[in-house]
């Protein structure tokens, strides 16, 4: 998808400004072009994912689709945590080591991150399968077999998550995003169709087997392509390691990632305690539909974080402040346009999954409130992480996670899907407002400190 195609889908009042930024020179323009590229990829991938979910839901029916989506969420949560924060700190350390020409440490960090993600993913999958095998009652029989199969995806999923971070650290948006967000869902659908044509039952377990093949295949493609790309910018040589330091910086981010993943998926996981698989499927469809808007924040954050990391590495807090403000604007206005579109078209879109899925329209509207709150915050949480304030970010995420869990447990038994949507949306809004306030405050204080230091130096010279 080209630049003009992306510009054409933006509102008229933004089109000229975005075009000027995207076609200009300098770091802001490069960030703009990266953001537009990520927009294009995420628009396309969101469409593919949405269509594949529609076809799977129609093909499987609400009950079996609910089984597949529930176990896949567990893969997403576990797999995304296995990199123990290296997928985020690669944005910081890759920029730092490249800026300082410390390629020996860069090679060591990249190797260490891959081994950590894949190794912990393998151990986690083995422990999960062993736990379910030895104590089968820990999992509802409805989901047991599908979950055992799904855990086989975890090592490849974890490695892809880390490789995504490596790609974004180099602003290789296509290499970072196309394998997990376009290739993998396409392969899931293709392998599922082949399995059904080969005589396999149209069941959630069959869809999970397709997901296993798709995840490992996409992971291999991404790894080989990224290895070739890295060879062009990282000269061959020995590796040096600061494993203890890297782990000390990265591990706190696991808490942030865990809180974020649970914030995003806790509603669906807790719904399993109170509702049937078909209700989970309906709620999942509503959440996936709001993801057509939520991808905007992901796209802008992915494009701006490398520039934010570079500005922090150079102690350029004025540029960092500029990137944060610009990122918030790029996130909010397109998200608002998309949200208004979903308000109008949400029910017909849900009907595409099946007539019973229109029952999720109320939940969809409520979830959109949380999406817009996050859009207003832009890349605020990423700023906290990349400027060494990961403990602040973790504290905000932990507090809102506890609130989210409490509200879900209080509201789901009485209000079902609507209760889950209210709990999640309220938690998203509070998290976004807190992160935005703290990020702007941290940057403002840093700018004032740099200005005071400059004034003191000028006074000393005079």
Quick check: is 128 in a domain?
A: yes
Quick check: is 462 in a domain?
A: no
The count of structural domains within the chain is: 1
Which residue did the predictor score with more confidence, 308 or 161? 161
Quick check: is 461 in a domain?
A: no
pLDDT at 30 over 80: no
Q: How far apart are CA 285 and CA 289, in angstroms?
A: 6
Q: What does the pLDDT look like over 375-388, one tens digit per residue?
A: 999 888 878 877 77
Query: What's the pLDDT at 462?
Result: 60
Average pLDDT over residues 360-366: 96
Quick check: is 105 in a domain?
A: yes
Quick check: is 272 in a domain?
A: yes
Quick check: is 434 in a domain?
A: yes
Average pLDDT over residues 51-58: 89
Q: What does the pLDDT look like over 164-180, one tens digit per residue?
A: 989 988 878 788 888 99
Quick check: is 21 in a domain?
A: yes
Query: What's the pLDDT at 160?
Result: 95
Average pLDDT over residues 272-290: 92
Which residue did the predictor score with more confidence, 379 or 219? 219
Query: What's the pLDDT at 39?
Result: 66
3-state secondary structure the chain: CCHHHHHHCCCHHHHHHHHHHHHCCCHHHHHHHHHHHHHHHHHHHHHHHHHHHHHHHHHHHHHHHHHHHHHHHHHHHHHHHCCCCHHHHHHHHHHHHHHCCCHHHHHHHHHHHHHHHHHHHHHHHHHHHHHHHHCHHHCCHHHHHHHHHHHHHHHHHHHHHHHHHHHHHCCCHHHHHHHHHHHHHHHHHHHHHHHHHCCCCCCHHHHHHHHHHHHHHHHHHHHHHHHHHHHHHCCCCCCCCCHHHHHHHHHHHHHHHHHHHHHHHHHHHHHCCCCCHHHHHHHHHHHHHHHHHHHHHHHHHHHHHHHHHHHHHCCCHHHHHHHHHHHHHHHHHHHHHHHHHHHHHHHHHHHHHCHHHHHHHHHHHHHHHHHHHHHHHCCHHHHHHHCCCHHHHHHHHHHHHHHHHHHHHHHHHHHHHHHHHHHHHHHHHHHHHHHHHHHHHHHHHHHHHHHHHHHHHHHHHC
Average pLDDT over residues 317-328: 83
- Give the range of the structural domain holding residue 400, as residue numbers without chain letter: 3-454
Query: What's the pLDDT at 456?
Result: 61
Percent of the chain with pLDDT strictly greater than 90? 45
Q: How far apart are CA 305 and CA 39, in angstroms?
A: 15
CA dihedral (54, 57, 58, 59) in degrees, to 10, reads 120
Start-to-end C-alpha separation, the chain:
56
Q: Report the chain's mean pLDDT, rounded to a whole number.
A: 85
| Token representation of residue 7 | 């510009």
Quick check: is 460 in a domain?
A: no
Q: What does the pLDDT look like over 103-156, one tens digit per residue?
A: 899 999 999 999 999 999 999 999 999 999 999 888 889 999 999 999 999 999
């Amino acid at each position: 998808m080209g630049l003009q195609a992306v510009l054409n889908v933006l509102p008229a009042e933004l089109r000229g400004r975005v075009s000027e930024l995207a076609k200009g020179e300098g770091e802001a323009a490069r960030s703009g072009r990266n953001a537009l590229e990520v927009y294009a990829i995420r628009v396309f991938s969101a469409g593919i994912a949405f269509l594949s979910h529609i076809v799977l839901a129609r093909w499987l029916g609400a009950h079996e689709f609910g089984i597949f989506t529930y176990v896949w969420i567990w893969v997403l949560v576990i797999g995304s945590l296995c990199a123990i924060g290296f997928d985020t700190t690669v944005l910081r350390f890759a920029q730092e080591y490249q800026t300082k020409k410390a390629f020996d440490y860069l090679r060591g960090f990249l190797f260490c991150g891959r081994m950590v993600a894949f190794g912990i993913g393998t151990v986690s999958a083995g422990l999960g399968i062993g736990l379910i095998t030895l104590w089968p009652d820990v999992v509802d029989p409805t989901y047991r077999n599908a979950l055992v199969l799904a855990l086989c995806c975890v090592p490849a999923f974890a490695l892809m998550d880390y490789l995504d971070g490596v790609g974004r650290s180099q602003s290789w948006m296509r290499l970072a995003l196309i394998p997990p967000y376009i290739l993998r869902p396409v392969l899931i659908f293709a392998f599922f169709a082949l399995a059904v044509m080969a005589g396999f039952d149209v069941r959630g377990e069959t869809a999970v087997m397709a997901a296993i093949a798709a995840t490992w295949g996409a992971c291999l493609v991404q790894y080989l392509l990224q290895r070739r790309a890295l060879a062009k910018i990282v000269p061959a040589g020995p590796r040096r390691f600061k494993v203890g330091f890297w782990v000390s910086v990265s591990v706190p981010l696991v808490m942030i990632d865990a809180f974020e993943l649970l914030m995003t998926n806790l509603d669906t996981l807790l719904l399993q305690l109170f509702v049937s698989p078909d209700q989970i499927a309906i709620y999942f469809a509503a959440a996936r539909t709001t993801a057509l808007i939520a991808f905007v924040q992901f796209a802008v954050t992915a494009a701006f974080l490398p520039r934010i990391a570079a500005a922090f590495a150079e102690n350029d807090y004025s540029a960092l402040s500029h990137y944060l403000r610009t990122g918030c604007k790029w996130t909010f206005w397109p998200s608002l346009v998309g949200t208004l579109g979903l308000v109008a078209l949400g029910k017909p879109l849900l009907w595409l999954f099946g007539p019973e899925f229109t029952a999720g329209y109320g939940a969809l509207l409520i979830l959109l409130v949380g999406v817009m709150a996050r859009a207003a915050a832009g890349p605020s949480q990423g700023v906290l992480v990349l400027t060494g304030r990961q403990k602040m970010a973790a504290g905000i995420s932990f507090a809102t996670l506890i609130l989210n869990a409490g509200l879900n447990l209080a509201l789901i038994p009485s209000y079902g899907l609507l209760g889950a949507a209210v709990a999640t949306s309220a938690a998203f809004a509070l998290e976004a407002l807190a992160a935005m306030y703290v990020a702007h405050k941290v940057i403002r204080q840093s700018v004032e400190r740099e200005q005071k230091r400059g004034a003191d130096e000028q006074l000393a010279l005079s």
